[in-house]
Amino acid sequence: MSQTESGKAAPAGAVPLHQLVVHLHPSDNVAIAKVPLQPGTVLVWENAPFKAMPIRVQQPVLPGHKVSLEAIEEGQPVIRYGHLIGLALKEIQPGQHVHTHNLGIGATTREYAQSKGSPPVAHLPEEQCHTFLGYRRADGRVATRNYIAVISTVNCSAHACLEIAHHFTPERLAPYPNVDGVIALTFRGGCTMRPDGETYTTLQRTLAGMARHSNVGGTLLVGLGCETNQASALIQNYGLGGPSTSPVSVLSIQESGGTGPTIEAGIAAVRELLPRVDDVARTPQPISGITLALQCGGSDGWSGVTANPVVGLVADDLIRQGGTVVLAETPEIYGAEHLLTARAVNPDVVHELAEQVRWWEAHVECIGTQLDNNPSYGNKAGGLTTIYEKALGAVAKGGSTPLRAVVGYAEPVVESGLVFMNTPGFDPVAVTGQVAGGCNLVLFTTGCGSAFGFKPAPSIKVSSNTALARNMPGDIDFDAGRVLSGARMEQMAGELLDLVISVASGRPSKSEAQGIGEAEFSPWHLGELL
């Protein structure tokens, strides 16, 4: 849980409100506790004569959690960020803890105003734009890493892929200084599905996106041989291994004589790829070559106050310099999608995002759940209550520039600027789609803590509170919680952008330094399993 630097609870007497809680918007009828609030503490308004009555805290309120600032009748809106986060399940008195016991969501009608178009982003002059040290591919794409990927076409070949990739230790790769590593991308699936079904199509699109990713200089596909997801079909359907793409080799366990011979042949195939992949070096590249995936996991009550808004400022800055930013996790923008449609560049983008939201509404009804089940145990322990509240904070990662396009899961991102990708909210599945779509770096915010990493795209983790950064120093790259101690958000964004440039140029992120990132590869399985 986040607390002030001292970690001490609030005193029991009268205290100016701003010292103990954060009131985010003038219309909010709740505030967020900065320290543990004790019953009997009196919060006194300053410079707010329209709310002159002091508020006596009635129950213990943990940091990151909400305290009511006024009486809210049953069924009436609870407001945070200036927007609805739910309805009171029963009468709430001033000074009471507002959480799952008295706050929920009700049925709402979702209508999106027709976009009249957003003004274009004013791009910075080239001489004012940053550069980073990246790998430029033959087709002009820019990479932040240079890997060889050993990709399974079915779970049956996963072990062989892992053995092949893990053979290439740092010592064995030392003669190839421009190769960042050999990674295995394996998954559960690849067979017993309809060859022209949605699950098959999504899987092939995801695997193809990894094979042709800018951060992958060469690929070895390894299959069992009899699976539905044939490597030959993958290559043919997506044009892998052509003159303008990185080299692709293929092995079949059944044709190679079994697991052992396949591993030996795979090691030999990677050895042949190494000199070709090593034949490119880092050179100064424009920051417009970065395609940034935005993610949050283990969010808390501070995520939408510190980490996500700081990331949003970085996103805006990157876009002004010609870069691309991909926001995702459709279930986690539910209740805040109107903030995105209001920034859409045209009505078609509004329609596409609305259709994705409606698909999820139908999907959760079909499987017997609801989108308000998205907030996890950790989210709620950290102070978040409803999906509306979580969504309003999550959307802040997308900054303020126009929404340029909406794409499906793992579809190639071709627009520059802000793009939305339809993905689930589960971090590994969502990031897999974003990276398969072309993202070559990940900004990942967390409030409760995360050990996430992802290869081949480095992941930078940003904490929403300082206590987390101190508790997990080997996992957290950047502490945005300093905003709560008075640091300017613009200063934090500048520092984070510098870190993005440094990591894009080759500095290992905290997760990379620990070797994290292979197990997180998780293509979205839509449910078909015959």
| 3-state class (DSSP) for residue 362 | helix
Neighbours of 509 (CB within 10 A): 25
pLDDT digits (tens, 9 = 90+) for 444-493: 999 999 999 999 999 999 999 999 999 999 999 999 999 999 999 999 99
305, 483 contact by CB (below 8 A): yes
pLDDT greater than 90 at residue 49:
no
Residue with tokens 């052509």: 242
Q: pLDDT value at position 376?
A: 84
Residue with tokens 């950064």: 469
Model confidence band, residue 2 (pLDDT cutoffs 50, 70, 90): very low
Predicted structure pTM score = 0.92
Give me the residues paired with residue 143 across strands. 135
pLDDT digits (tens, 9 = 90+) for 326-335: 999 999 999 8
Cα-Cα-Cα-Cα dihedral sign, residues 484, 488, 490, 495: negative
Among 13-22, 268-277, 343-352, which stretch is predicted with the lowest mean pLDDT?
Answer: 13-22
Q: pLDDT value at position 108?
A: 59
Q: pLDDT value at position 110?
A: 63
Kindly report the backbone phi and psi dihedral angles of residue 95, in degrees, each rounded to the nearest multiple of 5, phi listed first: 90, 0
Return the closest-CA partner of residue 318 out of 451, 107, 129, 519.
Answer: 129
Half-sphere exposure of 88 (CA within 13 A, CB side): 23
What is the overall mean pLDDT for the chain?
92
Q: Where are the alpha helices (DSSP H) in 373-504?
A: 377-381, 387-395, 427-436, 466-471, 489-504
Give 99's DSSP letter. Answer: S
**Domain coordinates in residue numbering, the chain:** 14-104, 147-283, 291-513
> Which two tokens mark 255?
């044709």
361, 367 contact by CB (below 8 A): no
390, 375 contact by CB (below 8 A): yes
> Which two tokens mark 388?
């509306």
Helical (H) or strand (E) element with 108: none
Give 239's DSSP letter. Answer: T
Strand 97-98 to 142-143 pairing: unpaired
At a CB cut-off of 8 Å and minimum separation 6, what does 234 contact?
A: 153, 204, 207, 208, 211, 221, 240
pLDDT digits (tens, 9 = 90+) for 121-175: 889 998 999 999 999 999 999 999 999 999 999 999 999 999 999 999 999 999 9
- List the 324-327 sheet strands across, edge first: 403-407, 417-421, 324-327, 291-296, 441-446, 459-463, 478-479
Residue with tokens 């205290």: 15
> Which two tokens mark 476?
């957290």
Burial (CB count within 10 angstroms: exposed 0-12, middle 13-18, buried 19+), residue 529: exposed
- The whole-angstrom separation of Cα 503 and Cα 495 is 12
Model confidence band, residue 248 (pLDDT cutoffs 50, 70, 90): very high
- Rg of the chain, C-alpha, whole Å: 24
Neighbours of 286 (CB within 10 A): 16
Q: Which residues of 237-266 are buried (b: 16+ CB within 10 A; e: fewer)?
A: ebebbeeebbbbbbbbbeebeeeeebbebb
- The whole-angstrom separation of Cα 463 and Cα 482 is 10
Return the closest-CA partner of residue 192 out of 243, 235, 227, 155.
Answer: 227
Kindly report the backbone phi and psi dihedral angles of residue 501, in degrees, each rounded to the nearest multiple of 5, phi listed first: -65, -40
Half-sphere exposure of 118 (CA within 13 A, CB side): 21
| 3-state class (DSSP) for residue 272 | helix
Kindly report the backbone phi and psi dihedral angles of residue 381, in degrees, each rounded to the nearest multiple of 5, phi listed first: -60, -30
Class of domain 147-283: alpha beta
3-state secondary structure 24-65: CCCCCCEEEECCCECCCCEEECCCCHHHCCCEECCCCECCCC
Is the CATH code 2.30.130.110 the one for domain 14-104? yes
Helical (H) or strand (E) element with 348: helix 347-366
**Which whole number is the average pLDDT over 314-330?**
97
Strand 66-68 to 30-33 pairing: antiparallel
Q: pLDDT value at position 5?
A: 40
**Which whole number is the average pLDDT over 429-443?**
98
> Which two tokens mark 36?
């543990």
Helical (H) or strand (E) element with 67: strand 66-68
Q: pLDDT value at position 472?
A: 98
307, 273 contact by CB (below 8 A): no
Q: pLDDT value at position 6?
A: 40
| 3-state class (DSSP) for residue 227 | coil
Query: How many whole angstroms from its chain centre is CA 180?
Result: 23
pLDDT digits (tens, 9 = 90+) for 354-409: 999 999 989 888 888 888 777 888 898 889 888 888 989 999 999 999 999 999 99
